[in-house]
Chains A and B, each alone.
Chain A
Amino acid sequence: MIAQTLMDGLIAGSMIGLGAIGITLTYSILRFANFAHGDLISWSAYFALSISTLLGTLAPGLATSVAPFSFGWSLPIGLAASIVLTALLALAVDWLLFARLRRRGGAIIILVMAGFGAALALRSFLEFLFTSKPYYFTDALQIAHPLAGGARATADQLLALGLAVVLVALVHLILTRTAAGRAMRAVSENQALAGLAGIDVARTIRLVWMFGAALAAVAGVMTGLLVQIRPHMGLDLLLPLFAAAILGGIGSVPGAMLAGLIVGIAEALCVQFVGAEWRAAVSFVILVAILLLRPQGLFGKAAA
């Protein structure tokens, strides 16, 4: 029983972790909490849904399930297209809103409020286009395979978990071993000095938006695959995402993923032992506790 709860928590937590990485990257570079990040997750799921449905209609063979998964090739293609489209959407929101406010020297609170506005607009537009009716990538039933300790998981769930682990490792390597990653970390620490060092700060900021959006796309599509697709799916994830980003320590990619897993497992344990109606409160309790006890998070550095 407990092994299954942990497995459920790990799977949900891995998606929270992917979303939290986007929030932590944006926050560490632009210094504001982007409340529209959850809606990028929702939009990514609808992008993938639209493209995979279109592909399935044009070439029905692409929609046929590829064992052991519940989906056909139309979904990975839809995911790849969704990554690009979500990145473009994030860049468009930045260009239309946040970049203009930054140029005007807008205070952090203005950027945060703008983020709220963008989130509302994105969500409402999604609801206008697709209604609030839930959608599913597939209606195929999957058998959960037995794993160690009595836990069970479907191939889709294991894929989501594996994908999250690979992506975190990849992002961590990019940040620590490549010129683009060094530039992102430099810009996050000191934009003026980064400029003096020859780093194009505006380009680096665009790169961060694209990175965060790409990870949001994977989280959105996999959440849509494992649960369902709704315009409010990103909003429902927002509190866990922020809890994970803050618990992990702002700016820390491994921290965000580990914290995502902790939040996911805590939610699963709460559902199991306290009651499903308290699930949403778990992230809030974690958020408040970490802010009171260790505001810099698990891997963050204390303010000087």
Chain B
Amino acid sequence: MNIRKDRRFFEEKLIKGIMRFCALLLAGLLILIVTTIAVKGFSALNLSMLVNTAKGGFYLGKEGGILHAIIGSFCIAGGATCLAFFISTPIVLYINVYRKKRSKLAELIRFAFNVLWGIPSIVYGAFGFTCMLFLGLKASLLAGILVITLVEIPILARGIDEVVQHVPIEITQAALSLGATTGETAWKVVIRQILPGIITAMLLAFGRGIGDAAAVLFTAGFSDYIPESLMQPVATLPLVIFFQLGTPFPSVQNRAYASAFILTLLVLSISLMARFFSKKLSRHRIDHM
């Protein structure tokens, strides 16, 4: 009896140890990835990279910087996040406030967002490309923004949906019983309640937009300049990293590490900011329900 009991507890301890190891390894991996990029990138980083655009022969090891790519990434991700916001928010409010939260249509649209969320960005890129051919659009900032908008819509919608679903029904009831229409309830009351959630979701979507490479590969083209109009092609940080790494010159590869360091810093700080906003409640939020 005692031996069996000992075995039981031995098994328990062993398994628990293995599991804890896995969890710790997860944190270890994150640290390993970030430090690898930081160590490699920081030593290669210099200020002139940040304030200059790529000059002639940049990819052969000559002078220049990646300012154009940083700006390009911000333009694409920023534009796309705004567009995606104006598409996702109405839909999410529609299925949660205009319709009952658990109605068939609401569940169907949630399902569609889940599926869209799982479609990889290369497929979005290819789809965006076929649309561009159809519309006669060239690889440009505009096309990049549109494709990243499609990529971000499900991310944003899922994020906002999660917060809207937690809005107490009493708030909706209170607004409606004052004689407000569903529209007024959704856009004047519910939206105030979920504002911090929306900002969090937008930041996360923005982070994904900045880091995306496969979708813009087809659609945004590539350039060495800061774009001056929506119709010009534009470089993005991930692609600059990819192309710099692909050259055979160690000095250019070093710049790839530095660029990667910048991208990682950007994405991490956006992610931390999002976390901050999700914890910080809005001034007017009602949360005792």
A binds B: no
Task: Write the residues of chain A forming the contact surface with B, with a CB cutoff of 8 angstroms.
Answer: none
Task: Write the residues of chain B forming the contact surface with A, with a CB cutoff of 8 angstroms.
Answer: none
